[in-house]
Amino acid sequence: MPLHIETPLIQSLPLGLAVGQDVWLKMEALQPPGSFKIRGVGAACEHHARAGKRRFVSSSGGNAGMAVAYAGRQLSIPVSVYVPETTTERAKALIRQEGADVIVHGAAWDEANAKALASLDEDSAFIHPFDDPLLWTGHATMIDEAVKAGLTFDAVVLSVGGGGLFAGVAEGLQRNGLGDVPILAVETEGTASLAASIEARQLVALQAVNGIATSLGARQVSQHAFELSQTRPVESVVVSDAEAAQACIRFLDDHRVLVEPACGAALAVAYAHANRLARFKRILMIVCGGATTTVERLQAWQEF
């Protein structure tokens, strides 16, 4: 049995009314650790466990770290998660709740990542938050499930941070004969590294990332994600922090599920930029989830 679950695929009447089209939701927020990350992370951890690794190391203070911690607990393999000083107490508590060790190091993810890599030995496997083919193949299973359910769709909407979800969905579409289906890749204004690379027509890094969608906060997407944006149908969409936060609140009202702003960014396309979806008849939205937010924080952010 894989470490992820097959998530519900539901039609959303509220989002459909907002868009004026048929909208379906892949509810990855209902994965046990709270996000889609467990699909790829679980696949990678199982791969390394079969290869005899006896420790998992990650460098994420967010959903990837929680997914590695969950996978380690399920596989009875110890986990060390290196996080930067900016990681919230809530995120650290959620990772520790799964039984993982949390090591705080550095002002930003790059420094925590370097420390994590320096800790590796021959018995350890490093689980990257987004840039690993094992992750992409695992994430692709959500498209397999949608196709197996008999759903036909002519666009996919998803959020982009480092590009792991994007790469996985693209792989899933390709292996199901849907390589021509466009992906709307959504970022917030302070995290739009893919949009910057698409505009520059080369892989570029942002000088800094900022805003409330911290799970999208990669200064540069993976090389593979950028290459996908140049070789398959991809449309970049950038939304504001306020739109992402408002989308989370509206989605909580509409579907009784709490997601973080990184997920709200994709939902905001339906709620605030419906014109970008007008030409599509049936849209699949990836509700990627996220376990690091609270209702109180969303209400505060909504006032931006």
Residues 106-147: tens digit of each pLDDT: 887 788 899 999 999 999 999 999 999 999 999 999 999 999
- Cα dihedral 191, 196, 202, 206, rounded to 10, equals -50
Same fold, 9-36+134-301 and 37-130: yes
Banded pLDDT at 304 (limits 50, 70, 90)? low
Q: Are strands 22-26 and 9-11 parallel, antiparallel or unpaired?
A: antiparallel
Distance separating alpha carbons of residues 22 and 214, to the nearest angstrom:
30
Q: What are phi and psi of 121, to 5 degrees?
A: -135, -175
What CATH number should be reported for the domain whose range is 9-36+134-301?
A: 3.40.50.1100
Q: What is the pLDDT of residue 300?
A: 83
Would you list the domain boundaries of the chain? 9-36+134-301, 37-130
Residue 280 structure tokens: 């599509």
Q: What are phi and psi of 231, to 5 degrees?
A: -120, -5
β-pair partners for 9? 26
Among 129, 39, 138, residue whose Cα is nearest residue 83: 129
Write a three-state SS string for 263-293: HHHHHHHHHHCHHHHCCCCEEEEECCECCCC
Tens digit of pLDDT for each residue in 189-224?
999 999 999 999 999 999 888 888 888 778 899 999
Residue type, 173: L
The model's pTM is: 0.95
Mean pLDDT of 70-88: 94
Q: Determine contact, residues 187/238, Cβ cutoff 8 Å.
A: yes
Q: What proportion of the chain, given as a percentage, has pLDDT over 90? A: 84
pLDDT at 302 over 80: no
- State the architecture of 37-130 in CATH terms: 3-Layer(aba) Sandwich (3.40)
Cα separations (Å) of 223 from 128, 202, 297?
14, 10, 33
Q: What is the pLDDT of residue 173?
A: 98
Q: What is the pLDDT of residue 303?
A: 67
> What is the residue-averaged pLDDT of the chain?
94
β-pair partners for 159? 186
